[in-house]
Chain A
C-alpha cells in the first residue's frame, strides 16, 4: 500500500509497526521474566508520527517533566536508527529497583552503596533487557541488526533531560512507537518509546513491506 501524498507512513505501515512493536516488546518482557520474578501486563502499542517541531513538546508531555521520573535513553545505529527511551514516571523506578535488589539487600546492607548508584545500576540492568531485547527483536524481524551506544540514565526535569529533548533536530519528523507496561501486583508502571527519524524512513518502509510480503 502506498502512502498518500503528505503522509509519512501509510495506515498499513502503521499497522505493521504496531504488530512488530507488540511482538518485540512481548519478547523483551519474557526475557525480563527470566531474570526477575515479575509479570508484566502489556498494552496495545501506540504508533504516532510526530509532526515537525512537535517532538520536543511530545517528549516533554510524555516524560511529564517530573523530577521523580527515571529515564534511560539508549541510541541505536544501523539501517534502522534512533533512540529507545525507558520511562518510569513518578518515582516508580525506585519501587522497581527495590524489587530488583530485594535479594541483594538481604545479603548486603544498602548503606554500603550510595542510593543513586544503586538506582543507576538497576535502571541500566532493566534497560539492557527491555530496550535491548525490544529493539533487537524489532530489527531481527525486519532483517537487520543495530549497534547500541552506552545507555544514559537521567531524571525528568533535569539538565540532562532538557539537553536530550532539545538535542532533536526540530526540522525532522519522527515516528514514535510507545508501549505502556504495568508490573502487575508490584504497583510499578512505565513505558518504552522507540523514536526513529526521517533518515531511516525509506529503509523502514521497504523493510515493513518485505516483512508482510514474506507472509503472502
Chain B
C-alpha cells in the first residue's frame, strides 16, 4: 500500500499540478524535491513507496536520479512525468527501470490510473 509519495521536479507549477491530481482521500503523505540530487537524498531519507520523476532538471537530471535511486533500491517504483517524449528518451528511462512514463501535462485520470497500478503491484508483492 502506498503511504509516501515523493515528487521530483524543478518546476513548482509541475509539482502543484501533480499534487492537485493525486487523490486527496487516500491519505498519501506527499514530499517534494526540486532536482534529481535532492530527490535522491530525500529518497534515502524518506524511503517513499512511489516517486514521480521529471527528466529535464538542473543539478542532476531525472535519468541519473532514476539510475541512482534504482541502484540504492532495486524495488523502487518510479513514474517518470516528462515533456521529453522522444522515443529514445522513453526507451532509455524504461531501460533504467522506471515503472511507467506519463507525458506532460499528465491528466488527473492518467495519474490516478498509474497510482492504482502501483497499488496493485504492491498488493501482489
A residues with a Cβ closer than 8 A to B are: 12, 15-16, 18-19, 22-27, 29-30, 33, 39-40, 42-44, 141, 212, 215-216
Contact = CB atoms under 8 A, between A and B. Distances in A.
A158 to B, nearest CB: 33
A216 B20 contact: yes
Given A22-B104, A27-B85, A42 B20 contact: no
Contacts of B100: none
Given A15-B12, A30-B85, A33-B87, A23 B20 contact: no
A197 B87 CA distance: 35
Interface of B: 10-14, 16-17, 20-21, 55-58, 82-89, 104-105, 108
A12 B16 CA distance: 11
Given A44-B56, A44-B58, A212 B86 contact: no
A42 B84 contact: yes
Contact of A39 (B11, B14, B88, B105): B88
B32 to A, nearest CB: 14
Nearest to A141: B105
A40 B86 contact: yes
